[in-house]
Structure 1
């Protein structure tokens, strides 16, 4: 499979294997947005794809900060909000 990303966002294509050992294609794309101006806008610097789960403290001993973007099945999108009130 040839994958061309024509967007300004980090993306990666890879193959998965289902429960019947059938190959399927996955595309992961990440968008970083900012609300600093009071309006939701694309950030000037886009965060790279997350390769491994990140935790707030010790791995598997604390809550997950963000999950890896390289999972084979994700029926919905993740929305992560990092903010200070």
Structure 2
């Protein structure tokens, strides 16, 4: 395994894990494989008067990057701002 690419090693590890699961719990393994192969439909957006909650789309990328780059949002969403404050 040492000469293989990291991705190939990961796939090999996944296959070995699936083989072990199939051996010990065939029903559970079959369910896992089906869940990976059959895409689940996206839920419908939730809409109210002034708000719509939906999955993000490719066109949202720039706005999301801008939003999550602000220190105010970082304080509540990530730990980067609070970590910086503790280190200061």
TM-score relative to the length of structure 1: 0.16
Taking structure 2 as the reference length, what is the TM-score of the superposition?
Answer: 0.15
With CA pairs under 8 Å and 6+ residues apart, which has the higher RCO, 1 or 2? 1
Of the two, which has the highest radius of gyration?
2
